[in-house]
Amino acid sequence: MARRWFQVFRLLTGLALFATLLGGCESATPHPGNNIATPGVIKIGAELPLAGDDASAGKAAEDGIRLAIDEANRQHILPGYTLILDAKNDVGASGVQDPSVGAVNVMELISDAQVAGIVGPLASNVARAEMPLTNQKGMGQISPASTASCLTQNTLESGCTGPDNLIPLLRPTGRVTYFRLATPDNLQGALTADFAYRTLGYRRVVVIDDTEADGASLTSNFINQFTSDGGRVVSHMYLQGRSDYAAELQKIAILRPDAIYFTGQSTNSGSVLRRQMEATPGLEATPLLIGDALIANAIAQAGGAASAGPVYSIVASADATANPSATEFVQKYQSMYGPIGPYSASSYDCAWILIDAVKAAISAGAKPPTAADDSDAASSFRQAVISALMKTDYDGVTGHQSFDPDGDTMNRVISVYQITDTDGRSGWKYIGSESSS
């Protein structure tokens, strides 16, 4: 069904381009699927949530990618070539990031021979749908945000064994084509526990997860590390697909925890939980920690009570504002796009790493395709880009980046944000970090 739809899409876009040329206008971005040669063009694909609840994070990530591409073009990093961004929206009809939409998107990007690689996606469930496709077709992906441990690991320590060993499915060729700058969930959960116990001083917590794979991984690793540190998990609740937590919160209030750790993946659920905590006697001022899938403006703006407890969110990468060498990036990004989003800096670094890999491939003799339908040239060039990605040694705005043999970043760090009020509007403010040596 998707294939038939895409054939129609190719026909329509080809006709649209033909009409534009007849009208005497030039198209700044070549359309995928036409047979017009476009020498000197190399495309960077992007797969992001550009609508719905997570649009603020997705568009900020897109801005980071766009800034890197614009800089590379101005600096003539690839003499004789112009870099073009081809960004796809992976939000479906339900308003959330949709794996099936992501799968169609990457097949469109793969079909355009001039796409050298893809930055994204943000969501791990979308990555699971895309990775077998890009792996089979030899397209490199580099994600700024997807954190599920089992996307890249199948060790006992990671918990990705037995039915959770996804590697044969995600890497059908046996080769690594997916890379990420995000710290995997098994490390993120443990580092969050360290921050809660050692920095924030919490000793008794309640853990709520929504039974999704990502949340379960965060939960188990948080619990293991928190209890190892000396803390106590007074309750662990499994609440799948909830839009109302009132009854459960009343039970939690009796336990009088120091904090609640919520590892759900739904922005709407996170917003509801925060509002209902403020309305629950005994929990009005209880701190709330949430996993990195939930650092969204909707949650920041969901509260209202002046006496409400602090809300912390985790992002599984370093914060550029804390890096003195990233000052120029921060100033430039803010002047062009406004406040930096949670994945702006890591997406910027992803794009530059991919651009550097393209440059290395060309320097080694690989020839970029000169037309959108030159699939033979695309296959060899994309493989050269993937080989260069494996050798990444890059100093970026999120710190030094290189990859282990599974494609995971060696810069294993989490950044912690807290909801604060600025100029009468709630938003996220960076307050600290934890790292794993």
Where in the sequence is the domain holding 88, given as residue range(s)? 2-12+40-183+324-406
pLDDT tens for residues 21-80? Answer: 333 333 333 444 434 444 599 999 999 999 987 898 899 999 999 999 999 999 999 999
The pTM assigned to this predicted structure is 0.83
pLDDT tens for residues 162-201? Answer: 999 999 999 999 999 999 999 998 899 999 999 999 999 9
Domain shared by 190 and 171, yes or no: no
Domain shared by 100 and 164, yes or no: yes
Residue 301's pLDDT band, with cuts at 50, 70 and 90, is low
In a domain, 334, yes or no: yes
Q: CA geometry: angle at 412 spanning 411 and 417, to 5°? A: 110
In a domain, 388, yes or no: yes
- Can the peptide bond before residue 121 be classed as cis, meaning omega within 30 degrees of 0? yes
pLDDT of residue 30: 40
Domain shared by 174 and 239, yes or no: no
Percent of the chain with pLDDT over 90: 65
pLDDT of residue 29: 39
pLDDT tens for residues 134-162? Answer: 999 999 999 999 999 999 999 988 889 99
Of 266 and 332, the structure prediction assigns the larger pLDDT to: 332
Domain shared by 239 and 106, yes or no: no
Instruction: Count how many domains the chain has.
Output: 2
Residue 428's pLDDT band, with cuts at 50, 70 and 90, is confident
pLDDT of residue 209: 86
In a domain, 35, yes or no: no
Domain shared by 201 and 347, yes or no: no
In a domain, 21, yes or no: no
- Range of weakest confidence among 40-49, 91-100, 236-245: 236-245
pLDDT of residue 13: 39
Domain shared by 135 and 220, yes or no: no
Domain shared by 6 and 118, yes or no: yes
pLDDT tens for residues 267-282? Answer: 667 778 888 998 999 9
Domain shared by 421 and 277, yes or no: yes
Residue 437's pLDDT band, with cuts at 50, 70 and 90, is low
Q: Average pLDDT over the chain, rounded to whole? A: 87
In a domain, 27, yes or no: no
Distance of CA 330 to the CA centre of its chain: 19
Q: Mean pLDDT, to the nearest integer, of 317-323?
A: 91
pLDDT above 90: residue 241: no
In a domain, 426, yes or no: yes
